Chains A and B, each alone.
Chain A
Amino acid sequence: EVQLVESGGDLVQPGGSLRLSCVASGFKFSSYEMNWVRQAPGKGLEWISYIGYAGDTTYYADSVRGRFTISRDNAKNSLYLQMNSLRAEDTALYYCARDQGSRPYEIDYCDYWGQGTLVTVSS
């Protein structure tokens, strides 16, 4: 069974930093591209980042480019999101999502999702 478990969400002040983690199980992690998608409270979905199999290809939404960094450790079956210069508008539930993978080295649809970890940016 595919499982994605996020952690690391917390209350942080504006301008602060946070690192989110996602541990994967039930599939060969190194064979799948991964994404982070967030959802502000009561709002819709927003894709924020993608990473390729080996971590050498990354893409970001304009809203987070230059502030967030996606990375992975295939030996630990783990995906990460380093979040710097956090703003109030970054407050959201952050989902780790597996890329469907039918188009290698390209962003695809998300076929499995974790339950999310909540990030709150407030003073």
Chain B
Amino acid sequence: EIMLTQSPATLSLSPGERATLSCRASQTVGRYLAWYQQRPGQAPRLLIYDTSFRATGIPARFSGSGSGTDFSLTISSLEPEDFAVYYCQYRTNRPPFVSFGGGTKVDIK
């Protein structure tokens, strides 16, 4: 069973700064990795899928990269609405399995 470890647990930054979040898999996941944003009191929102593809309506300041076991989500310049918790997710169908990372909270410094 593949486990995802996100780091850091909390990232304290100021608006306008660059954020880089990490997700490490216990085994290779190819490029089958997604990122979600969850603002306080809201449902998660898909940001990035298959490592680097932005979901519909996601601003260009969000980008994803990586392969194998190491992945990252970068927010090029933090907007006030970007302060939230971010989760990475792996999915496979052989056999069917979905795993989420523990999350990284991006808060205002």
Q: Which residues of A are interface residues toward B (Cβ below 8 A)?
A: 37, 44-47, 50, 59, 61, 95, 100, 103, 106-111, 113-116
Contacts and interface: CB of A to CB of B under 8 A. Distances in A.
Contact of B45 (A107, A113, A116): A113
B39 interface: no
Contact of A107 (B44, B49, B91, B101): B91
A45 B87 contact: yes
Given A107-B92, A107-B93, 12 more contacts: A44-B87, A45-B38, A45-B89, A46-B100, A47-B99, A50-B96, A50-B98, A61-B98, A100-B46, A110-B44, A113-B45, A114-B43
Nearest to B43: A113
A3 B97 CA distance: 26
Nearest to A106: B93
B66 to A, nearest CB: 16
Nearest to B103: A44
A95 B92 CA distance: 20
Contact of B43 (A47, A50, A59, A116): A116
Residue of A44, A59, A103, A109 contacting most chain B CB atoms (<10 Å): A109
B93 A95 contact: no
